[in-house]
Amino acid sequence: MTFRSPGRADAADTLTGGPRRRRALRGGAPLPLLVPALIGLAFLTLPLVALLIRAPWRSMPDLLTSSEVWQALRLSLVCATAATAVSLVIGVPLAWLLARVDFPGRGVVRALVTLPLVLPPVVGGVALLMALGRNGVVGKWLDTWFGITLPFTTTGVVIAEAFVAMPFLVISVEGTLRAADPRFEEAAATLGASRFTAFRRVTLPLIAPGIAAGAVLAWARALGEFGATITFAGNFPGRTQTMPLAVYLALQNDPESAIALSLVLLAVSVAVLAGLRDRWMTAS
Amino acid sequence: MTRSVRTRRPVRVAALGAAALLALSACSSSDDSDSATSGSSASASAAAAKISGDITVFAAASLKESFTTLGQEFEKAHPGTKVTFSFGGSDSLAASITGGAPADVFASASPKTMKVVTDAQDNADAPATFVRNQLEIATLPGNPDKVASLKDLTNKDLKVVLCDRTVPCGAAAEKALTASRLKLTPVSYEEDVKSALNKVVLKEADAAVVYRTDVKAAGDKVEGVEFPESADAVNDYPIALLKESRNTGTARAFIALVRSAEGQKVLTAAGFLQP
């Protein structure tokens, strides 16, 4: 049981287990709850433990210092960061629009924004091809007018990743905005600040933790993106072969290096989670 | 390697509708015969007489059209059977078989990928070559870039896709390129031959090095260009019964159909070469 003022849900809270519990349950847990709970715990942790057990620790240094791995890892980090930057630039204003401006059909727009979140990534990749491919609805004109083709390029990877990761950011920032007290902005307005100044000087600092949490989530999602990337951007080492693609293809002929690559991604994920907890566990 | 508990095959879920009706009307599912009292100790001849139930066939992506046809013929010839296919890159299929995926038959696009399975001793019978396949260049309809040879693909302005080296069609393409001392930089190494072909079908790439059979299967969506170097990299396709099979009688019957004159007719019509 937690007591919270209504409407103060913070996106970061749902991530990190919420603010401090006021009261914990007294006494032991009943067996009918404890047994499935332990099964659930084992189900979620065992595969990762297995990955650690089966890891080829002795040959790890050789596997991880190969140039292909570094190439894939660097590409992954660069693309995920670029995708997050793109999401921030166009996602935060979109979140603000959804949270602060009452326009007709807002519910529909919010649903559309959330759609890529629940869409199978491969479907997202196909949709991107249909839209931005060389023969796509928009891509055709990009190619004819500017000679820009997006599939099979690093830009294509960033686009695919931003497409699946941006909804995380938008939803999380929008939740923070709704929870933030609009009276601060109103006060700024009465003091003569324009709406944009109020947003820049008052709202942004107010929701910074929410934006940061959303950005980290989006970044992690972009880093793990596979389906849309291989469909839209293809697979070329150094240009479009990100870590998940490298893991998938390595699994076919060299399972050991696939495990090593998986461990690297696992370590990155753990670091992200640890960073989130440290920063937003105490903020409520 | 810890084997997972045999669960119901996930592929079967996809075919639920029809399969459920079939299973209901036949009043027996293959799982019943799995725990079998009858089938387990039966001799091969008795098993051959009892052709029923489900089998799962893992087959190379390039076999998609011809095997689908053969599967339908097989189900028609043996009422009460159901053939479920999983098509994909031979390498990933081989990897999932050695990882314990429940399948009865494996048909791969190269002896090398079959060897992965036989090395792990996951096969029940010795693999047999049933067809051969040759590479061809797939270009856009009408061949607007005037591709006439493998050398033309090295043109920097062309977007060419190849299969990944781990997949038989990629290995064969590499062999042909090496034999002709050409260096080709594609825009992408695709995970199986069908996705390489589809990049040309969708006009995202200008050309792809795929099999003759794929060009044929795509109809007028692509145009095929034969090149002499492809003779240096003809692929043998082996097929084998798997140790994991719980329905060996039906699985053997399907392999027999693939290797029969009737099966060969379907395969050569699709553009495969006789072994």
pLDDT, one tens digit per residue, over A136-153 is 999 999 988 998 889 999
- The pLDDT tens digits of the residues spanning A82-110 come to 999 999 999 999 999 999 888 999 999 99
CB B125 within 8 A of CB B240: yes
Across the interface, do A234 and B159 touch by the CB < 8 Å criterion? no
CB atoms under 10 Å from CB of B238, counted, come to 25
| pLDDT recorded at residue A76 | 94
Ramachandran bin of B27, using left for φ above 0, alpha for ψ from -120 to 50, beta for the remaining angles:
left
Mean pLDDT on B159-179: 92
- The pLDDT tens digits of the residues spanning A207-226 come to 998 899 899 989 999 999 99
Mean pLDDT on A74-80: 95
Give the closest-approach CA distance of A109 to chain B in angstroms.
30
| pLDDT recorded at residue A23 | 57
Q: Is the pLDDT of residue A132 over 50?
A: yes
Q: Confirm or reject contact between A129 and chain B (CB < 8 A).
A: yes
User: What single-letter DSSP state applies at residue B189?
Assistant: E
Tell me the HSE value of A102 on the side-chain side, using a 13 A CA sphere.
0
Which helix (H) or strand (E) is A52 found in, with range? helix A31-53
User: Which candidate from A134, A252, A253 shows the least CB-CB separation from B204?
Assistant: A134
Quickly state the pLDDT bin for B167 (edges 50, 70, 90): confident
Question: Which residues of chain A have a CB within 8 Å of the CB of B197?
Answer: none
Mean pLDDT on A25-31: 75
Question: Which residues of chain A have a CB within 8 Å of the CB of B159?
Answer: 134, 149, 152
Question: Which residues of chain A have a CB within 8 Å of the CB of B189?
Answer: 234-237
User: B58: helix, coil or strand?
Assistant: strand
Beta strands in chain A (DSSP E): none
Of B5-9, B137-141, B250-254, minimum mean pLDDT range: B5-9
Of A59-63, A175-179, B67-71, minimum mean pLDDT range: A59-63
| pLDDT recorded at residue A176 | 93
The two beta strands, B188-190 and B160-163, are parallel
The CA angle B50-B55-B236, to the nearest 5 degrees, is 110
Mean pLDDT on A219-236: 92
Across the interface, do B191 and A151 touch by the CB < 8 Å criterion? no
| pLDDT recorded at residue B243 | 93
Cα gap B266→A107, rounded to integer Å = 54
Token duo for residue A270: 């753990």
Give the closest-approach CA distance of B184 to chain A in angstroms.
13
Tell me the HSE value of B50 on the side-chain side, using a 13 A CA sphere.
14
Question: Which residues of chain B have a CB within 8 Å of the CB of A147?
Answer: none
Q: Is the pLDDT of residue B146 over 60?
A: yes
Quickly state the pLDDT bin for B42 (edges 50, 70, 90): very low
Token duo for residue A263: 């461990």
Quickly state the pLDDT bin for B1 (edges 50, 70, 90): very low
Across the interface, do B190 and A253 touch by the CB < 8 Å criterion? no
B180 vs B9, higher pLDDT: B180
Task: Please give the interface size between A and B, counted as residue pairs whose CB atoms are below 8 Å apart.
Answer: 55
| pLDDT recorded at residue B13 | 40
**The tokens 């076999």 sit on which residue?**
B63
Across the interface, do A253 and B166 touch by the CB < 8 Å criterion? yes
User: B81: helix, coil or strand?
Assistant: strand
User: Residues of chain B whose C-beta is under 8 A from some C-beta in A?
Assistant: 89, 91-92, 94-95, 159, 161, 164, 166-167, 186-191, 199, 202-205
B18 vs B83, higher pLDDT: B83
**What length is written for chain B?**
275
The neighbouring-strand residues paired with B273 are B132
- The pLDDT tens digits of the residues spanning B209-243 come to 999 999 999 999 999 999 999 988 899 999 999 99
Cα gap B245→B75, rounded to integer Å = 18
CB A72 within 8 A of CB A261: yes
- The pLDDT tens digits of the residues spanning A241-261 come to 999 999 988 877 777 888 888
Describe the strand order of the beta sheet including B207-211 as a list of residue ranges: B188-190, B160-163, B207-211, B135-139, B223-225
The neighbouring-strand residues paired with B129 are B238
Across the interface, do A151 and B204 touch by the CB < 8 Å criterion? yes
Question: Which residues of chain A have a CB within 8 Å of the CB of B204?
Answer: 129, 133-135, 151-152
Helix axes A121-132, A154-179, angle to 10 degrees: 120
Quickly state the pLDDT bin for A274 (edges 50, 70, 90): confident
Q: Confirm or reject contact between A235 and chain B (CB < 8 A).
A: yes
| pLDDT recorded at residue B47 | 45
| pLDDT recorded at residue A54 | 87
Q: Is the pLDDT of residue B10 over 70?
A: no
Across the interface, do B164 and A235 touch by the CB < 8 Å criterion? yes
Of A141-150, B28-37, B251-260, minimum mean pLDDT range: B28-37
